[in-house]
Each structure stands twice: as structure tokens, then as C-alpha cells.
Amino acid sequence: MNILLTAATLFEIEPTVNWLRARAETETGNVLNFGQVTIEVVFTGVGLTATAYALGARFGAGNLPSLAIQAGVGGAIDQNLELGQVVRVSSERFGDLGAEDKDGRHLSLAEIGLHPGLPFNQQEVLESPAGLASLPFPHVAAISVNRVNGSAKSIAMMKARFPEAQVESMEGAAFFYACLQNGIEPLQLRAVSNYVAPRDRDSWQMKEAILALNEQLQALLGAFIAP
């Protein structure tokens, strides 16, 4: 089985990369070998464009993985989620894709006559198949943006446009899109590092989120590489 493990930055999953390297039978470049299982590690860079380019280049090279995992931190729009909690994203959407009307209202692609087509559904949402539904993570709906929301005004507008959105990231929708276009099931794990609120870095719990993310990621990968 070939697994692709991807993150925007080394910082987010470095503990897991070190944990995997300590257990690998062999290591060739960015590919770690565990008998019948290989884990390929790819860092895409931050943001939707960097993620789309990195995954497009990787998938275009062939030898597609059986499973793709994206791991990282994110902000919680849903205040019922706890800081440090690890969630699985089951649906994604591009939060700033479309047009702005003259009154400031966001218009979706469909509303301006440019529905994006598959793999989007009719609501312009990217949905993960149900195959991994039994994994022990809460399922959340996510949006991805090139600029994270940091003012009360932009947050209120985003919530009004996308009331179902529970977490926000800068890469998830590009990951979903690339995987679904190539017939690969996307497994996106996000640890909540902060609430989507007027920007206040001092209130973020990045260290705790990174710790929780890597604990859960190692438990997940351990099930694949255990002898």
C-alpha cells in the first residue's frame, strides 16, 4: 500500500516524520518503506496555490497513492470545537472563489454562470467519499481561503455566506480537489489551534494543537505499519 502524507509545513508534522524515520526499514529520498507499506512525505508550502501546484506535479508524475493524508492545524469557526481537538474534514469549499456584487455580497460561481463542474456538487462543495467514515475523528465541514479571516466584519460575512462551515484552513480545498480529480480518497486531519475571531495570536494554542495532531497521526499511521 502506498500512502502519501502531506502538510503545508514541516513544523506541523515534524514529530511524526521523525517517528516514522525511526521505524522505517529503509528510506529513499522522501519515501519511507515499511515492508508492504510505503509512506511518501510531501510538503506543499502554504496556501491554495502552492498546494495545488505541489499535488498537481506529484499526481501528474504517476504511481498514484492508495491513500492521501493531509495533516495540519486550522482555525475553528464552530465555537463548540475545543482548542487542541483533532477533527477530520469531510467536506471542503473554496471560501473566496467567485465574485463580489456591488453591494458587497459574495456571489458563487454558479450565480455568475460559471458552475465549476465535477468533482464539486451542485452547492460547489467538495465531499469526501464515505470509505473512511469509521475513523474515530469528529467530522467537520471546512472552508479554505487564501487570506484567513481576522476582523469581526470579515468573519461575520463569512459566517453569513457559509453557515455550515466549522473550520478554516489555507490548503484543504486544494488538497480535496487534487485528490478527487485523481480518484484518490482524501483524508484531511486538522488540529484546532485557535478560534476564528478578531486576530489575537496570544490566544492561540499552537503548541498544544501540534502535539495533539501528531499523537493522533502516529496512532493512525501505526495501524498501517504495525508488523
Residue 172: give the domain boundaries: 2-225
Residue 130 belongs to domain with CATH number: 3.40.50.1580
Strands (E) across 12-164 are located at 26-28, 31-34, 37-43, 67-76, 86-92, 99-100, 106-107, 126-127, 139-144
From the number of C-beta atoms within 10 Å of its C-beta (0-12, 13-18, 19+), residue 116 rates as middle
Cell digits of residue 125: 462543495
pLDDT computed for residue 190 by the predictor:
97
199 and 75 in contact (C-beta within 8 Å)? Answer: no
Cell digits of residue 205: 494554542
pLDDT by residue for the chain (227 residues), tens only, comes to 999 999 999 999 999 999 999 999 999 999 999 999 999 999 999 999 999 999 999 999 989 999 999 999 999 999 999 999 999 999 999 998 888 888 888 888 888 888 888 898 988 999 988 766 567 899 999 999 998 888 888 888 888 888 999 999 999 999 999 999 999 989 999 999 999 878 878 788 899 999 999 999 999 999 989 87
Report how far residue 52's alpha carbon sits from residue 65's, in angstroms, rounded to the nearest whole number.
16
Adjacent-strand bridge partners of 140: 89
Helix, strand or coil, per DSSP, at residue 173: helix
pLDDT computed for residue 108 by the predictor:
84
* Enclosing H/E stretch for 155: helix 152-161
pLDDT computed for residue 132 by the predictor:
62
Helix, strand or coil, per DSSP, at residue 166: coil
pLDDT computed for residue 46 by the predictor:
96
Number of domains in the chain: 1
pLDDT computed for residue 44 by the predictor:
97
